[in-house]
């Protein structure tokens, strides 16, 4: 069965760089984050979300109020992507469009969590104490607010994207698989149009605690991803980010005379057991299978010790002389959003004539590797 070309016709971006394509191309050229907050969550820096006029993409105040920050970022970026594709007002187009979202869960009730953890220290029966307080202290609505598929639901409600939806969870690898699923379904002829992407809110004490427990976070000031040794140490700096792309079959885009940013090629993913050398082996295998020949590289490297050095070595061997830009140097690390963000930036760069083929690598801070490639149409 022949495979159809899959093209990017819409891009929506929100991060510390600002909102929209132009702001992110400017940040890409600068090679450094526009904003780093080192005070609010000290000693852990974060790259905060920009101030957004939410009414522009989420008109109803009631919709804005019922969403958490990560949902507002995602719905806003999805609206930007639909605007970019020229389909925001096309109800029939959006009704036929399918949706694939990569994201984590919602925010914790940190006050309740803190009280439970404090009481747990002196509990005579820790297990019984924990069960009792988890059942009685947490709001029932908290669980609904945490559901990851609420982002897809809110995009459907606010923007009218009412085709089938899928939600992927699983940190960095979920963003890769969201793109892989969308690309393969359009290429095979199962569907013509899809909205794919994700969102992440970094400005949350609960996620900082989780990642610090694994010793994944950098402390202190910003340093470039591939230089995070010494004071402050290796690790990632989280960034509040959302990225969505409108993907279409090339003939569908041509029929409606859409502007095409770039072509999305088949996406590769891998999940080997993480051990010394596995990152280099995984990226090499993905690279060779794809026959990648980029003239620009975008890395989703985390800055975590060991794996980041392995990725740097692998990229130097696989694409000697090809310039590498780390997403963490522009927007910070955004876990599920890493692959969609890299793909959106790559599509924008190709449409500007700055590259013919761009490869995006993702190496999960715990597990999972991915290779996403975009190219010019001819």
Rounded to an integer, the average pLDDT of 310-322 is 97
CB 309 within 8 A of CB 228: no
pLDDT at 286 over 70: yes
Asked if residue 140 has pLDDT above 80, the reply is no
For residue 105, name the pLDDT band (cuts at 50, 70, 90).
confident
**Percent of the chain predicted with pLDDT > 70:** 97
- Bridge partners of residue 47, in order along the sequence: 239
The per-residue pLDDT for 2 is 67
- The token duo for 353 is 């004539």
Token pair in block for residue 204: 């949350």
pTM here? 0.92
Q: How far apart are the first and last CA of the chain?
A: 22
354-375 tens-digit pLDDT: 999 999 999 999 999 999 999 9
- Smallest CA-to-CA distance from 362 within 304, 275, 289 is with 304
Distance CA 72, CA 83 (A): 17
Are 166 and 100 within 8 A, CB to CB? yes
By C-alpha distance, which of 20, 22, 69 is closest to 49? Answer: 69
Q: Are 40 and 238 in contact (CB under 8 A)?
A: no
The pLDDT of residue 378 is 77
How confident is the model over 192-201, as pLDDT tens digits? 999 999 999 9
Of the given ranges (40-54, 104-118, 205-219, 334-348), which has the lowest mean pLDDT?
104-118
Helix (H) or strand (E) holding 19: strand 18-19
Peptide bond just before 43 cis, omega within 30 deg: yes
In whole angstroms, what is the distance from residue 75 CA to residue 88 CA?
13
Q: What one-character DSSP code corresponds to residue 125?
A: S
* Residue-level pLDDT at 267: 98
Q: Are 123 and 115 in contact (CB under 8 A)?
A: no
Residue 146 pLDDT exceeds 70 = no
Q: 374 with 260: CB under 8 angstroms?
A: no
The CA R_g of the chain, rounded to the nearest whole Å, is 20
Nearest Cα neighbor of 294 from 330, 245, 346 is 346
Indicate the average pLDDT of the chain: 93
Confidence of residue 188 (pLDDT cuts 50, 70, 90): very high
The pLDDT assigned to 110 comes to: 75
CATH of domain 6-106+147-375: 3.40.47.10
Within 263-306, residue ranges assigned H as helices are 278-290
- Residue 244: DSSP 8-state: E
Supply the pLDDT for residue 139: 65
Which pLDDT score is estimated for 144? 55
Model confidence at 266: pLDDT above 90: yes
Q: What is the rounded distance in angstroms from the CA atom of residue 344 to the CA atom of residue 151?
A: 19
Q: What is the pLDDT of residue 145?
A: 53
Q: How confident is the model at residue 239 (pLDDT cuts 50, 70, 90)?
A: very high
State whether the Cα torsion 134-140-144-146 is positive or negative.
Answer: negative
- Say how far apart CA 264 and CA 193 lie, in whole Å: 13
Please report how many Cα atoms fall inside a 13 Å half-sphere around the Cα of residue 93, on the Cβ side.
Answer: 20
So where are the chain's domains? 6-106+147-375, 110-142
Measure the CA dihedral 337/290/250/378, to 10°.
Answer: 110
Cα distance between residue 22 and residue 377, in whole Å: 21
Report the residue count for the chain: 378
Q: How far is CA 157 from the centre of its chain?
A: 22
The pLDDT of residue 37 is above 60: yes
């Amino acid at each position: 069965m022949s495979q159809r070309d899959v093209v990017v016709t819409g891009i929506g971006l929100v991060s510390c760089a600002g909102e929209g394509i132009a702001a992110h191309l400017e940040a890409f050229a600068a090679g450094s984050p526009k904003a780093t907050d080192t005070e609010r969550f000290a000693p852990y820096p974060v790259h905060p979300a920009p101030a957004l006029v939410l009414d522009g993409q989420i008109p109803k105040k009631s919709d804005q109020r019922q969403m958490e920050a990560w949902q507002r970022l995602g719905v806003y970026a999805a609206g930007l992507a639909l605007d970019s594709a020229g389909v925001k007002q096309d109800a029939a187009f959006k009704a036929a469009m399918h949706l694939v979202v990569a994201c984590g869960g919602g925010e914790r009730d940190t006050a309740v969590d803190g009280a439970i953890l404090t009481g747990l220290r002196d509990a005579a029966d820790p297990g019984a104490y924990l069960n009792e307080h988890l059942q009685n202290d947490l709001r029932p609505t908290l669980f609904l607010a945490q559901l990851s598929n609420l982002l897809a639901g809110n995009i459907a409600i606010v923007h009218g994207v009412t085709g089938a939806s899928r939600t992927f969870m699983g940190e960095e690898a979920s963003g890769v698989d969201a793109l892989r699923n969308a690309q393969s379904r359009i290429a095979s002829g199962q569907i013509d149009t899809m909205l794919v992407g994700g969102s992440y809110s970094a400005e949350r004490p609960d996620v900082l605690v989780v990642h610090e427990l694994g010793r994944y976070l950098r402390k202190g000031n910003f340093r470039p991803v591939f230089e995070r040794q010494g004071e402050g140490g290796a690790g990632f700096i989280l960034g509040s980010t959302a990225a969505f792309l409108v993907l279409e079959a090339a003939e569908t885009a041509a029929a409606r005379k859409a502007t095409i940013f770039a072509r999305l090629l088949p996406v590769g993913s891998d999940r080997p057991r993480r051990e010394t050398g596995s990152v280099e082996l995984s990226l090499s295998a993905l690279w060779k299978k794809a026959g990648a020949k980029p003239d620009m590289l975008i890395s989703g490297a985390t800055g975590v010790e060991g794996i980041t050095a392995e990725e740097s070595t692998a990229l130097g061997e696989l694409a000697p002389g090809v310039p590498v830009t780390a997403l963490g140097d522009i927007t910070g690390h955004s876990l599920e959003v890493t692959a969609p963000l890299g793909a959106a930036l790559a599509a924008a760069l190709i449409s500007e004539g700055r590259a013919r083929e761009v490869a995006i690598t993702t190496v999960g801070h715990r597990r999972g590797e991915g290779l996403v490639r975009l190219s010019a149409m001819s």
